[in-house]
Structure 1
Amino acid sequence: MEDEPKTLLVTLTGKDRPGVTSSIFGALSAAGVEVLDIEQIVLRRRLVLGILVTAPRDWKKLRDVIERTAAELDMSVEVDRGAGDNRSRPGERSHITIIGSPLKASAMAAVAGRIADAGANIDRIERMARYPVTALELHVSGAPAEALRPVLAAEAVRLGIDLAVQRESLHRRGVRLIVMDVDSTLIQGEVIEMIAAHAGQEAEVARVTEAAMRGELDFEQSLRERVALLEGVPASALDEVYASIVLAPGARTMVRTLRRLGYRFAIVSGGFSQITDRLAADLGIHFARANELEIVDGHLTGRIVGDVVDRAGKAAALREFAAEVGVPLDATIAIGDGANDLDMIEAAGLGIAYNAKPMVRDAALTSVNVPYLDSVLYLLGISREEIEDADAEVGIVTPAPLLG
């Protein structure tokens, strides 16, 4: 448009070293221009610096000064005169996180193509991690997240990558609540099978557990049947089971990092409070809810005390914890792997199927299938470098790949 302000786009490329940015801005400052936008990236020590400024009346003179400065720096430069600012396209803005191991160019091409098909534009791309997975965050404008999610979720399944679409909002930066399943999510394996090994019933319990997690059996009925097989197991076996628990890779890192940022955590489990309460205390988790095994005279009776925490119970717990923390459901995150996690995954602002059963992956709009629970951090806009820097400040050496 004729009435749009004239602007100059300065694009500088070359070997990165100290003083490049200050030299270019020194050249610009003599012309008294205003800075409207700036982007700078470094890839393999190669700098790409883009600066958008107001164009002075004698813009060609400024162009000559910039070109001489670039030559002195032994760098290439382009100066383009145009009109207008660098505004995002109208419509909602979204954050799209892509995780691959590896992340191939063909996958990026396909995702970018679907974004373009939706009439959206990729405004900026940032790297969240380069190991043990590759994670990128795309800042996208021009299409609502609700329109992008189903299309990109289907594409992610086809490509074998993990992908999350989140609407840009203040909730993403504020205090949030994370509610996690326990068995095969926060920890590796199923606690009830570990207890069943003490009764010689591990194979039978595992068979029923798998069917329940696939959604083939009513969860409460299957749980009561499995617990009945534990009758007579000494209560002391629970101590042995707890001692043998192995956390999911990156679990401690995720909790530790997000607690620093003021996040609240809850675990809800179809397992047992005798285990989950200890896990919560060990990890610094704020809330825990699970089933309670009945113990009489130092032995399991094969019964559960009180109501069963099932699929509906997990979603109810998420809502209750959110109300207690004082956050809206849009600011909650639910992570789980089995059919009994589906209601809370659907209720949360961001529901994540973590190395989940097929029916859960199909139902959830966000899946993480790499074996590192702290990959969830990348979905929240937290980079691997930020995690390591925060740990280094308190003397923690973050393992690679992240194991705890």
Structure 2
Amino acid sequence: MAQTSVLTLVTDHTAGASIRNIAEAAARELTEAGAACAEPDWLSEDRAVDIAFTGPWLEEAEARLSASGLLDMIDYCLQPTAHRKKKLFLADMDSTMITVECIDELADFAGFRKEVSAITEQAMNGELDFNDAFRARVAMLKGLREPVLQQVFDERVRLTPGAWTLVQTMRANGVYTALVSGGFTFFTNRVRDQVGFHMDMSNELLFENGSLTGIAAEPILNSSAKLATLKQLMTKKNIDRAETLAIGDGANDIPMIEAAGLGVAYHAKQAAIAAADAAIRFGDLTTLLYYQGYRDSDFVTA
């Protein structure tokens, strides 16, 4: 029996050609590969389009489309049509739902930004053990006064474009949403409330006399904990793997991304992109709604 699949194309101003031209050329490539393509379904005028097709298998379709070069300057997702709209959504926070790495911003106030940022980069690329890298960075924050955390949140933390609309639209459609971060509860609590996640999980910094001790509470929330959270929520909510969605940008997100029904890498490190089912390289977080088949008219906007 032929597999029913869908190719979603999403563009923004970085696209080097009209999305309509790209969509027509992609449909031709699929047809020449033996697929039966439906008419393009525009989710957003001149921005996002679905091309549903039956046969060939996704791997063959992606290989052909990639070889054509059509997808080089556009965000795209190839997936089965079944269970496309998800019921459980897990998201990383730093450099995914927000535009910064909170630990790097804190380190800026402690005078160790360069050193901490270098470790962060290596950890996100999967070049260092996350737990060791985390403890080393937290140690450099020792002595920071508690008000500095609020200052960082107020002055440095900004939501990634599309974050609020993404979470609110999914919530409006009955999706359970979780923010899971290797960062700190001080920030995830606030981002959870700001964006509207149902829950958040992260690491707790320890204070003594109003100053950071340079130690975080154990156990550290790492990649294994993110994966465990996904599995626990699937069981608790009685949600199948195919109905789950996870997004992140670094090596710490890879197990969660690989285990989800649709794992997406957001403006990510190469290791995360390689592990993901799809990537968002150019657009904002609303691209994730188009990947699930939501239309502009479905979006919850402020």
**TM-score, length of structure 1 as denominator length:** 0.69
Residues 365, 236 of structure 1: alpha-carbon distance in 2 compared, 3 angstrom cutoff: same
Q: Does the Cα contact within 8 Å between 1:92 and 1:142 map onto a contact in 2?
A: yes
| Cα deviation, residue 186, structure 1 | 0.1
Separation in structure 2 between the aligned mates of residue 154 and residue 226 of structure 1, nearest angstrom: 42
* Counterpart amino acid of residue 153 in structure 2: Y
Residues 266, 190 of structure 1: alpha-carbon distance in 2 compared, 3 angstrom cutoff: same
Alignment-derived partner of residue 230 in structure 2: 318
Find 1:369's aligned residue among 281, 284, 294.
281
Separation in structure 2 between the aligned mates of residue 366 and residue 152 of structure 1, nearest angstrom: 14
Look up the SS of the partner of 1:164 in the other structure. strand
| Cα deviation, residue 287, structure 1 | 2.1
Alignment-derived partner of residue 164 in structure 1: 77
- How many residue pairs were aligned? 297
| Cα deviation, residue 274, structure 1 | 1.7
Instruction: Answer 1 or 2: which has greater strand percent.
Output: 1
Alignment-derived partner of residue 175 in structure 2: 263
CA distances 1:342-369 after superposition (whole Å, capped 9, x unpaired): 1111100001111111222233230111
Q: Considering Cα pairs closer than 8 Å and 6+ residues apart, tell me whether 1 or 2 has the greater RCO.
A: 2
Alignment-derived partner of residue 48 in structure 2: 135
Moved more, 370-379 or 145-154: 145-154
Look up the SS of the partner of 1:165 in the other structure. strand
Residues 177, 224 of structure 1: alpha-carbon distance in 2 compared, 3 angstrom cutoff: same
Alignment-derived partner of residue 290 in structure 1: 202
Alignment-derived partner of residue 36 in structure 2: 121
Alignment-derived partner of residue 334 in structure 1: 246
* Counterpart amino acid of residue 311 in structure 1: S
Runs of 4+ in structure 1 deviating by more than 3 angstroms, as ranges, are 103-110, 144-158
Separation in structure 2 between the aligned mates of residue 107 and residue 241 of structure 1, nearest angstrom: 42
Look up the SS of the partner of 1:333 in the other structure. strand
Separation in structure 2 between the aligned mates of residue 261 and residue 91 of structure 1, nearest angstrom: 30
Alignment-derived partner of residue 235 in structure 1: 146
Find 2:23's aligned residue among 108, 112, 118.
108
Matching of residues 204-283 of structure 1 within 5 Å = 204-244=115-155, 245-283=157-195
| Cα deviation, residue 226, structure 1 | 0.5
* Counterpart amino acid of residue 97 in structure 1: T
CA distances 1:231-257 after superposition (whole Å, capped 9, x unpaired): 011122111122231000011111111
* Counterpart amino acid of residue 230 in structure 1: L
Question: Given the alignment of the two structures, is residue 300 of structure 1 paired with residue 215 of structure 2, yes or no?
Answer: no
| Cα deviation, residue 309, structure 1 | 1.6
Residues 285, 150 of structure 1: alpha-carbon distance in 2 compared, 3 angstrom cutoff: farther
* Counterpart amino acid of residue 202 in structure 2: A
Q: 5+ unaligned residues in a row in structure 2: which ranges?
A: none
Separation in structure 2 between the aligned mates of residue 360 and residue 150 of structure 1, nearest angstrom: 19
* Counterpart amino acid of residue 130 in structure 1: E
Q: CA RMSD in A?
A: 2.1
CA distances 1:130-176 after superposition (whole Å, capped 9, x unpaired): 36xx211111113344543555466678622211112122x234x61
* Larger Rg belongs to: 1
